[in-house]
Amino acid sequence: MSTIAQTQKRGFAGTVWEYLTTVDHKKIAILYLIAGGFFFLIGGIEAMMIRIQLAVPNNDFVSAGLFNEIITMHGTTMIFLAAMPLLFAFMNAVMPLQIGARDVAFPFINALGFWLFFFGGLFLNLSWFLGGAPDAGWTSYASLSLASEGHGIDFYVLGLQISGFGTLMGGINFLVTIINMRAPGMTYMRMPLFTWTTFVASALILFAFPPLTVGLFMMMFDRMFGSGFFDVAMGGNTIIWEHFFWIFGHPEVYILILPAFGIFSEIFPTFARKRLFGYSSMVFATVLIGFLGFMVWAHHMFTTGMGPIANAIFAVATMAIAVPTGIKIFNWILTIWGGSIQFTVPMIYAISFIPSFVMGGVTGVMQAAAPADYQFHDSYFIVAHFHYVIVGGIVLALLAGCHFYWPLMFGTMLSEKLGKVTFALFFTGFHLTFFIQHFLGLMGMPRRVWTFLPGQGLETGNLISSIGAAFMAAGVIIFLFNVVMTQVKNVQVGKDPWKDGRTLEWAIPSPTPFYNFKQLPLVRGLDAYWIEKLEGKTEMTPAEPVGDIHMPNNSFVPFVISLGLFIAAFGAMYQVDDKAWAIPVLIIGMGVTFGAMLFRSIKDDHGYHIHKEDLLDDADKGGTR
């Protein structure tokens, strides 16, 4: 049928339209990758400005107010707009293929999730041009954020609210996909670890984002509509915000790190040619980490004055998380033990991840000791700790994932040579930047300081840290160069480019057909493709005869729904200034959103079918697109 032919040739405008309306998880993955990558660069530039400002005492590279805006946006951007979307990119690109699905459960919702995130992120970053960015830190503690002048915090509240809805939808979508869409034979205990971690992270999203939503609503009402949740004079209480933020914020850490663990759990077995050691205990540990992640939020608030009983309970609960995390670390080491290790770029990242992350993990346990945390809290020790976890865990995973899954997403292979240069620069820079910060904190440097005075013994450490940051920046630039070069050369590498692929995603022809699997594969055990390869086969055994495939239609509606909220947010924000146009804009925006939802609800969308004959034709030509 024409649908296959349609996907083959398109002009530039056609491609743009395709991406604006796509509901294909593989294309949405690319959208997430591009948007997340873009925000990652913005966050990185902000990071560089922070380090330049703090390179020497009494520096005046940026002003005090601007510095607070930069740190706030650096944290917010990196967590919400870079790390999460980039992980979502891999979840979208890989997870449906890993479980042998033709698509996710809700392709439409998948697209909606992306556009909500994108417009939320865009809205947040527009604050730079519209009177100043938020300046109360990414935690935006209530007393300061209510006192903050201008619209910065409004951008934070509304932008995160919009992108948060998108994330929530993505989470539900992945949960249902994994439960309902697995290929025949893909039992829960045969699912690859990346799928498992996606599953647990999605469950965390489902239960962690509503408290943030409520907190953001209350902040929005307080700032824009005159309520008194956090206004002590009206009987409000600012500590409520702290609780909600961290009830969300702590699981958020695991939402980020679990998929990162998942990526490494795929890389280790592949390049050690050995199955994951202790698969079932890895799954158990993942679930346990997810569960405990909800029990420990108040360890971010040891100095808030909750009293010794609460502090002691949360201290002990926090320490408990070290146990399942330890299990994971040892399982990874035992996976490569006795294996045959090939030092590809993804594997180098994976190997360097272990000591880096362990260092971040152990400082986490140190902070769990509440009385010691009274000293660590809000000092540079904390900054060092969470960068060790986030950069040493998540960013290394993202870089590893880029190299590892690039062939799956784009059909090309990133340069190994440049990849190693990037690694060397980034890894050196990372330790140089953050290791010394532990000691800066212990020597009495509070975090979020715009400058520091000379004569306090803090000069050398800060200078070293700033030099390290430059190395990291250089690494990222070379990585970008690598991406551009690879795509310009466009050398297609074909199926199973790493040769040692173990899971279903590597069993598909490259580039991946838009319907993923012509016939759903029959899964016969963990590492399904590896099992077939050991028996000398090159393809999966099909679980069904070739038949018609039902596909969803593209839709522009997700874009419109998100755009409506984007417009409404401006109205909600500027009605505070009594601008005459604000309320109408708010109404129009909400009208666009609800109108689009109504349209979606009223207009039937049954999708279309790819017919059997076309599929057979297609197979003769060898792949599509």
Does 448 help bind another protein (rule: CB under 8 A)? yes
- Tell me the sheet residues that pair with 492: 412
Q: Is residue 609 a contact partner of residue 551, using CB atoms and an 8 Å limit?
A: yes
Residues within window 452-471 making contact with another protein, judged by CB under 8 A: 452-453, 456-458
Binding residue for another protein (CB under 8 A) from 225, 454, 584, 616? 225
- Is residue 609 classed as helix, strand or coil in its secondary structure? strand
Q: Which residues contact 1 (CB under 8 A, 6 or more apart)?
A: 610, 611, 614
Binding residue for another protein (CB under 8 A) from 34, 214, 424, 464? 214
Residues within window 313-352 making contact with another protein, judged by CB under 8 A: 315-316, 319-320, 322-323, 326-327, 329-331, 333-334, 336-343, 351
* CB 569, min distance to another protein, A: 18
Q: Which is closer to another protein, CB of 372 or CB of 582?
A: 372
Binding residue for another protein (CB under 8 A) from 30, 34, 45, 176? 176
* CB 14, min distance to another protein, A: 28
* CB 571, min distance to another protein, A: 18
Residues within window 361-400 making contact with another protein, judged by CB under 8 A: 362-363, 365-366, 368-379
Alpha-carbon gap, residue 281 to 302, rounded angstroms: 32
How far apart, in Å, are the Cα atoms of 509 and each of 89, 406, 411, 505, 506? 20, 14, 10, 9, 8
Does 615 help bind another protein (rule: CB under 8 A)? no
Residues within window 156-175 making contact with another protein, judged by CB under 8 A: 168, 172-173, 175
* CB 166, min distance to another protein, A: 13
* CB 608, min distance to another protein, A: 11
Amino acid at 541: T
* CB 115, min distance to another protein, A: 18
Residues within window 47-76 making contact with another protein, judged by CB under 8 A: 63-65, 67-68
Q: Is residue 507 a contact partner of residue 532, using CB atoms and an 8 Å limit?
A: yes
* CB 488, min distance to another protein, A: 31
Q: Which backbone phi and psi does 549 adopt, to 5 degrees?
A: -115, 130
Residues within window 229-268 making contact with another protein, judged by CB under 8 A: 229, 231-240, 244, 247
Q: Which is closer to another protein, CB of 18 or CB of 231?
A: 231
Q: Which residues contact 226 (CB under 8 A, 6 or more apart)?
A: none
User: How many residues of this chain bind another protein (CB under 8 A)?
Assistant: 133
* Options 24-32, 154-162, 184-192, 310-318: segment touching another protein (CB under 8 A): 310-318
Residues within window 577-606 making contact with another protein, judged by CB under 8 A: 598, 601-602, 604, 606
Alpha-carbon gap, residue 379 to 296, rounded angstroms: 20
* CB 592, min distance to another protein, A: 16
Does 207 help bind another protein (rule: CB under 8 A)? yes
Residues within window 272-301 making contact with another protein, judged by CB under 8 A: 272-275, 277-281
Question: What tokens does 464 get?
Answer: 């070293």
Closest listed residue to residue 526, CA positions, set 265, 260, 200, 204: 265
Q: Which is closer to another protein, CB of 33 or CB of 224?
A: 224
- Is residue 275 classed as helix, strand or coil in its secondary structure? coil
Q: Is residue 502 a contact partner of residue 616, using CB atoms and an 8 Å limit?
A: no
Residues within window 2-31 making contact with another protein, judged by CB under 8 A: none
Does 1 help bind another protein (rule: CB under 8 A)? no
- Tell me the sheet residues that pair with 608: 551
Question: What tokens does 361 get?
Answer: 């993990």
Closest listed residue to residue 162, CA positions, set 614, 553, 569: 569
Three-state secondary structure along 23-58?
CCHHHHHHHHHHHHHHHHHHHHHHHHHHHHHCCCCC
